[in-house]
Amino acid sequence: MKEKVIVGLSGGVDSAVAAYLLKKKGYDVHAVFMQNWDNATNNDILGNPFLKSEKCEQEIDYSDAKKVAKKLGVSIEKVDFIEEYWDRVFKYFLSEYKKNRTPNPDILCNNEIKFKAFLDFAMSKGAKYIATGHYANKVKLNDIWHIKRGVDSTKDQSYFLSQIKSEQIKKTIFPLGEISKLEVRKIAKDLGLDVAEKKDSTGICFIGERNFSSFLKNYLPAKKGPMKRLDGTYIKEHNGLMFYTIGQRKGLEIGGVQNVTDPWYVVGKSLVDNTLYVEPNSNHINLYSDKCILKDVIWRGKRENGDYTAKFRYRQKDSNIKITFLENNNVLVEYPQKVKAVTPGQLCAIYQNDICLGAGFINEVYYEEKLREYA
């Protein structure tokens, strides 16, 4: 019998080509479209914050996924994970914003939906594996499964998969790990798939592309306050601390400040007096730190203190680090060369060469032994 694989078909080009490659290799391929957000359901919870005319992006994606499934000759089922998404992902997402942290919804989606709720569903249907369109690989070392970087360094998504547990990795196939995005689009075009040129999703995971500030205001009341320089000079009014992150440049809308022509950056946030601090300096000392503490660390393999590399953000280059395992599943990460914009709430993924050994969420950030008051 062919091994049964259920692929998460999102309506995009990556998962479409992943499904095709699995069929080509001889797997018994089935597809699931995960519905994790529904305006009607969440309107009931929140008292109708959305306009009735709003078009749900998932409806378009589901239509595209069905077309792909038909073209490839695989069955597709729409599965409702709305409650799981709300309870496991979105509530945490909101709670972090309330603390003025900057959570990464893609990480939460992978941890709680794609590699937990979806994986459990697939196993209940007799699948041996699930598959996704992530650009990543997996490797087994000393009987432990690890995430490995994808060969396309411009699209490698190992960072987003860095908290997946070894047993989850074992049950997952990553068909795109050894090919590039250009190859994926060419395969889709050669197959005549309508999604061959469809742009990549850049919105909130499973919710889609929206005006983020307007969307967040539906759930968290925004409190405007002063935007100042560190010396106390008043610049203007900000729209709410939760809309800004350390190192941010875009969206500040600062102009006409006398004797200042350089771009402005967020260099601090104060919850106590609801103040946002900005400076016209991309290399301001307040943007840098030399160590941080991670919480909720997932580690695959032997816990050994020592030298590794890390990504503090998805697009950031690897930084040389030294880690020390602490109590309560925390890890101290030191980088004496200093790193820019290490931000509470974001994820730190830890690597040994191309192997991602684990990750944790940035909880505290320090510079020269002093805690950075970023919230």
Instruction: Encode burial over 155-171: b for 16+ CB neighbours within 10 A, e otherwise.
Output: bbbbbbbbbbebebbeb
Catalytic residue positions? 109, 205
Looking at residue 49, what is its pLDDT?
Answer: 45
- CA R_g for the chain: 22
> Cβ(188)–Cβ(16) under 8 Å?
yes
Looking at residue 211, what is its pLDDT?
Answer: 60
DSSP for 289-358, written as a single string: EEEEEEEEEEE-S----EEEEEESSTTSPPEEEEEEE-STT-EEEEEEEEEE---TTSEEEEEETTEEEE
| β pairing state of 28-35 and 75-80 | parallel
Structure tokens at 111: 């941890």
What is the full per-residue pLDDT of the chain (375 aa) written as tens digits? 799 999 999 999 999 999 999 999 999 999 999 998 775 555 444 444 443 334 567 788 999 999 999 999 999 999 999 999 889 888 888 888 888 888 888 898 899 999 999 999 999 999 999 999 999 999 999 999 999 999 999 999 999 999 999 999 999 999 999 999 999 999 999 999 999 999 987 655 555 555 666 777 778 888 999 999 999 999 999 999 988 999 999 989 998 787 888 999 999 999 889 999 999 999 999 999 999 999 999 999 999 999 999 999 998 899 999 999 999 999 999 999 999 999 999 999 999 999 999 999 999 999 999 998 775
- Residue whose C-alpha is closest to residue 162's, from 114, 119, 205, 107: 107
Where do the domains of the chain lie, and which CATH numbers do they carry?
A: 4-133+175-213 (3.40.50.620), 222-279 (2.30.30.280)
pTM of the model: 0.90
Integer Cα distance of 269 and 85 in angstroms: 29
The dihedral built from the CA positions of residue 154, 26, 122 and 139, taken in this order, carries a sign that is negative
Helix, strand and coil percent figures for the chain, each rounded to 5: 30, 30, 40
Looking at residue 44, what is its pLDDT?
Answer: 45
Integer Cα distance of 63 and 174 in angstroms: 24
Burial of residue 236 (number of CB atoms within 10 Å: 0-12, 13-18, 19+): middle
